[in-house]
Chain A
């Protein structure tokens, strides 16, 4: 197995671990962390492709992804704070106000 393929396999593993967290855990903060894990998997893939193909665009893309991830987690965590304030818990089981 070559080094780029190993890094691609690692990035696929991180993405699928994030997917597993998103589908299994019931806590809002863990869901947000699952999203971060998936983003990190994609980032690793971008950097490996950029290195492998001799283009810097992948690394610049990562610059924008990190900025957007920071904005996303700031908004997500403030939603989490107001959920916690209104329901007294961060569990997604409590969030069924819209359920018929």
Chain B
């Protein structure tokens, strides 16, 4: 049985995704996406991934989506964009493609439930994480030992992204 709290949050996430995909105004889409990310953060919290839940709300809903809304408002892009046209054959074709992809992914996940090559449950069960002092301690312990090199590489990537964004968005000097 699905946990009722997760079921409710999942329904909220799915309906916000539909409202994001079909709305005609960019700001409605962006706000639906903010709500979706907060609800996803709640799901992460419920299934015990607390560090990731905090990151999801802080970075995704707080930083990335605010950047989106900021640029929509900065560019005054609030004129409505063409809606999804359901009389067009192309919409139905792409919808069928996306639906087919969903069906294939779902069958794959369903197959994984009873897959004999499925890996056995690893070291970090709920009890082990509790022993280590919680999700945040366990995750940061791994982050600064096994994944330290990747952590440093990602910081370099952010530096490059800042320079790229500055170069792209600055006005040309005459």
- B-binding residues in A (CB < 8 A): 1-10, 12-17, 19-21, 23-27, 29-30, 32-34, 36-37, 40, 43-44, 47-48, 50-51, 53-57, 59-60, 62-64, 66-75, 77-82, 84, 90-91
A sample of 5 cross-chain residue pairs with beta-carbon separation below 8 angstroms, ordered by A number, consists of A2-B113, A43-B56, A66-B59, A69-B60, A77-B68
A66 and B169 within 8 A (CB): no
A73 and B68 within 8 A (CB): yes
B101 and A29 within 8 A (CB): no
How many residue pairs at the A-B interface have CB separations less than 8 Å?
Answer: 214
Return chain B residues, CB-CB under 8 Å to A78. Answer: 164-166, 168-169
Return chain A residues, CB-CB under 8 Å to B47. Answer: 3, 7, 47-48, 51
Task: Output the least CB separation between A78 and chain B (Å).
Answer: 4
A67 and B52 within 8 A (CB): no
A68 and B6 within 8 A (CB): no
Q: Mostly helix, strand, loop or mixed at chain B's interface?
A: helix
B102 and A81 within 8 A (CB): no
Given A24-B84, A24-B91, A54-B122, A64:B71 Cβ within 8 A: no
A2, A27, A33, A53: residue with the most chain B Cβ atoms closer than 10 Å: A33
Return chain A residues, CB-CB under 8 Å to B109. Answer: 5, 8-9, 12
Q: Mostly helix, strand, loop or mixed at chain A's interface?
A: helix
**How many B residues, CB 8 Å from partner?**
84
B49 and A47 within 8 A (CB): yes
B63, B67, B105: residue with the most chain A Cβ atoms closer than 10 Å: B105
Task: Output the least CB separation between B157 and chain A (Å).
Answer: 6
B122 and A40 within 8 A (CB): no
Return chain A residues, CB-CB under 8 Å to B154. Answer: 64, 67-68
Contacting A at CB under 8 A, from B9-44, are 10, 13-14, 17-18, 20-21, 26, 29-30, 33, 36-37, 40, 43-44
